[in-house]
Amino acid sequence: MSLVHRIGLGTVFALASASVWLGCGSDDTNSGPSPGMDGGAMDVTAPTPDTGTEGDSGTVGPKDSGAMADTGGGDAATVSCSAYCAAVMGTCTGNDKQYLDMGECMTACALLPSGTPGAASGNSVACRTTHAALAASGGVVPHCWHAGPFGYGACGTECESFCLLATSYCSADGGFDAGPPTYASLTDCTTACAKFPRIDDVDGGGNVGVDGGYNASGPTGGNTLDCREWHLDNALDGPGSASGQEFHCMHVGATSPVCQ
């Protein structure tokens, strides 16, 4: 074999080796994104997490201290003592006043069932909130009575509401410690309440007259349910105080020393 032939073969092998080496180096240094099906770069960005808020209808919540909110879009409203008390205190004034002040209303509200937002009947805060709104739209009578603590047939019967508040509050569980509970039980109160005369009972059958209904200014004496309601109102206005709960709870019972 000639010298020229040997040099030519060596050159061929050298060129082939260089080609293989350059090809391997090109693959190792390629740090760009892999092409997608359409020839562009593949998107590897992580998807946005699902917050789980869309379509959440919620449930009817308990009473809170905020406003009664109806946010729409399927979100449930919340029964609120502060919204209810602001409404009834702002609308039912003068001869139609139902609570002595905001503190008494908040105390009573905490003892009443929450109910379903928008309800117009039943012994609940929700029902009273509805009637406070109706009173504000021009129907002060009889809607302020319905919006007040004793319901007057729309938001619970008068005795139903009175006895719930009296047995819940004028008892050891309610913080009253000036003697035995005003009534031994809810049934005991309901039985006694049915026999109390009412100033607003126009026909003796328990029917409230158009000029009747509860008023926070009294009466302060006499053997009537009205007198006992006034003293219960004052008891609720002073929780734990000698001039409020400890004094006035003694006057709401069947054997009241004042309402006789």
pLDDT digits (tens, 9 = 90+) for 240-253: 666 788 889 999 99
Domain for residue 59, yes or no? no
- Residue 29 in this model has a pLDDT that exceeds 50: no
Q: Within a domain: residue 5?
A: no
Residue 51 has pLDDT above 90, yes or no: no
Mean pLDDT along residues 250-259: 92
**In a domain? residue 149:** yes
Number of domains in the chain: 1
Whole-model pTM above 0.75? no
Residue 241 belongs to domain spanning: 76-251
Determine, yes or no, domain membership for 30: no
pLDDT of residue 198: 84
What are the distances in angstroms from CA 106 to CA 4, 60, 151, 185, 224? 112, 20, 16, 24, 25
Average pLDDT over residues 142-156: 92
Considering only 15-24, 61-70, 148-157, 171-180, which range has the smallest mean pLDDT?
15-24
| pLDDT value, residue 231 | 92
pLDDT-above-90 percentage for the chain: 45
In contact, 146 and 136? CB cutoff 8 Å? no
Would 110 be classed as within a structural domain? yes
| CA 115 to centroid of chain Cα atoms | 9
CB-count burial class (<10 Å; 0-12, 13-18, 19+) for 57: exposed
Whether 37 maps to a domain, the answer reads: no
Q: Tell me the average pLDDT across 222-238.
A: 91
Report d(CA 120, CA 50) in Å as an integer.
38
Q: Is residue 2 part of a domain?
A: no
Residue 99, in any domain of the structure: yes
